[in-house]
Amino acid sequence: MTPGRRAGPGRARGGAAGAGPSSRSEGTGPKRQANAQTLARAIEDYLEHLKVERRLRPNSLLAYTGDLEAFAGHAEAAGVAALEAVTPALLLRFAVGLSQAGLSPRSQARRLTAVRGLFRFLREEGRLDIDPAQALRLPKLPKRLPELLSRGEVEALLAAPGQDGPLALRDTALLELLYATGCRISEALDLTLDRLYLDQAIVRLTGKGDKQRLVPLGSPAIAALQAWLTSGRPELVRGTVRWVFVNRRGGRLSRQGFFLKLREYALAIGVTRPISPHKLRHSFATHLLEGGADLRAVQALLGHADIGTTEIYTHVTRDHLRERHKRHHPRA
């Protein structure tokens, strides 16, 4: 569903969450609503802002669309169509309805975050005098520690594809890049040849919101990438292709295609628990901190806007740091 071309966010999946017939008193009367901006139009404008100015990725944009459609459905059921008719009481009933509908705290938080973002945008644009979502609180979320691969598992995984043939060279290079830089799989698959500087041992990655960062490459990753670019990729590519990583037909490699290969390699080395490219990102950050890296440096390498996001890894490394303190401190 493309923002700006939808049938209207009022036709929402799960839109009645938290709504009830008694909520119809939220309206402000037909005369005022006729002259007011509609909530549906405001949502469309916000989604367009997220797509064009914030440059959200399609999956994130789809999530925002669904969450805001759910709120629009709740407002429609309460008889609210005008933007100015949205009140804190309506928003509170929406939040309560999410809980009563049995959504997990994480899903509730995601929907409420989308709604808060909508009204913050409208307030900043001058389309509302007061932000009705200002006092809306998110449910407390339990801290979920990232699942990791041990150093031994990482070493085995990086060696699993081997060097026999172009696809093996590609997968080895991609795995080495993921672990060497801690990049997201989307950042790796979006990588183009002009942003790979092997002679300078760095790569320019484009993260969320199109924010770019330079990340250094170690010698194993450089060697794997050089082998792929000189001996593997030319066998698959016909014509001009910008992407560093391509599929067997020379087109852009998909996330799904690599996820399946990663699962195969994990099973081959005896890792039977669920695995994803993001676990290499988690392992990258944790192994850096275990080695004594500065938290701010890890934040910059990962491309986190908020250091609070990076701090989750300090919980993972606490036992390791305690053991190092005991071993090295003279009065431990």
Residue numbers annotated as active site: 184, 208, 278, 281, 304, 313
CB atoms within 10 A of CB 285: 26
Q: Are 269 and 158 in contact (CB under 8 A)?
A: no
Contact 243, 253 (CB under 8 A): yes
DSSP 142: -
d(CA 119, CA 221): 45
What's the alpha-carbon Rg for the chain, to the nearest Å?
A: 24
Q: Is 300 exposed, middle or buried (0-12, 13-18, 19+ CB in 10 A)?
A: middle
Helices (H), the chain: 30-35, 39-52, 58-77, 88-100, 105-124, 151-159, 166-181, 185-189, 219-227, 233-236, 255-268, 277-290, 295-302, 307-310, 312-316, 318-328
Rounded Cα distance between 247 and 9, Å, is 38
> How many Cβ atoms sit within 10 Å of the Cβ of residue 158?
21
Sequence-distant (6+) residues with CB within 8 A of 249 are 236
311 by Cβ neighbours in 10 Å (0-12 / 13-18 / 19+) ranks as: middle
